Amino acid sequence: MSAAEGFAVTLVDVDEPTLDRLVDAAIIDAAADEVTASVTTGPEWSPARIAWLRELHRSCRQGLNGPAGQATWAILAEDQIVGAVRLKRTVVPGILETGIWVTRRARGQGLGGAATAAVLRTAVSLGAQGVRADTTADNTAALGILRRLGFAVVSGKDGADVEALLIFDTS
Ligand SMILES: CC(C)(COP(=O)(O)OP(=O)(O)OC[C@H]1O[C@@H](n2cnc3c(N)ncnc32)[C@H](O)[C@@H]1OP(=O)(O)O)[C@@H](O)C(=O)NCCC(=O)NCCS
């Protein structure tokens, strides 16, 4: 188990047994588009999307300094896997990108916010100077989390995409 303790969640490394549980949770209780890239057409889960999800977490096991430049964790709440969160290097030194998904039945209980707060603490402990996130203007829950945690939120030109940035106060 690694590092980050949240208020109601723990972030855990995605070893093989955890990956099996994470994939089950995702397939049963999250939309494929919320969890994977659009590797197959249509929003449904497919073997290719499941393979993509497994490969993502396996390829990130060496963390930010590994070949993927990315680290992922499963979100554990009351011994259940309820989602995943990640940190990835960006082209801007010191700035990491984050992303998160939470199972449908676990949403609206503060777990996404707690997991995001936990991953920010992890980013600080890893020496990051800030974290960015991309979402959409209609993602009320994600925007609520980002604003409450102090991110500056800027709309893209088309009004649909939103970029959020938090620079850590190290003073
Ligand atoms: C975004 C997501 C991670 C939020 O997880 P969550 O556990 O529901 O988040 P929380 O319970 O901490 O709620 C976050 C905020 O959104 C609000 N909220 C939660 N569900 C909501 C809903 N369905 N409609 C409106 N607001 C909602 C909460 O009241 C809270 O607001 P607050 O911070 O002002 O109190 C989750 O909805 C999800 O996995 N969505 C699909 C993937 C995704 O969009 N990821 C984010 C991409 S950046």
d(CA 79, ligand 1 centre) in Å:
21
Neighbours of 12 (CB within 10 A): 19
Among protein residues, the one whose CA lies closest to atom 1 of ligand 1: 142
The residues with which 87 forms a beta bridge, in sequence order, are 71, 98
What 8-state DSSP symbol labels residue 155?
E
Token pair 């188990």 is found at 1
Ligand 1 atom closest to 102 (CA): 39
| Ligand 1 pocket residue status of 2, Cβ below 6 Å | no
How many angstroms separate the CA atoms of 133 and 112, rounded?
14
Q: Ligand 1 centre and the CA of 112: distance in Å?
A: 6
List helix spans (H) across 13-93. 16-29, 32-35, 47-59
**Number of CB atoms found within 10 A of residue 144's CB:** 12
Question: What pLDDT, in 10s, does the model give residues 28-58?
Answer: 999 999 999 999 988 899 999 999 999 999 9
Ligand 1 centroid distance, CA of 101 (Å): 9
What are the sequence ranges of the domains in the chain?
A: 10-167
Any idea which fold 10-167 has?
Aminopeptidase (3.40.630)
Residues 131-147: tens digit of each pLDDT: 999 999 999 999 999 99
Q: Residue 72 corresponds to which tokens in the numbers above?
A: 């992922």
In this prediction the pTM is 0.93
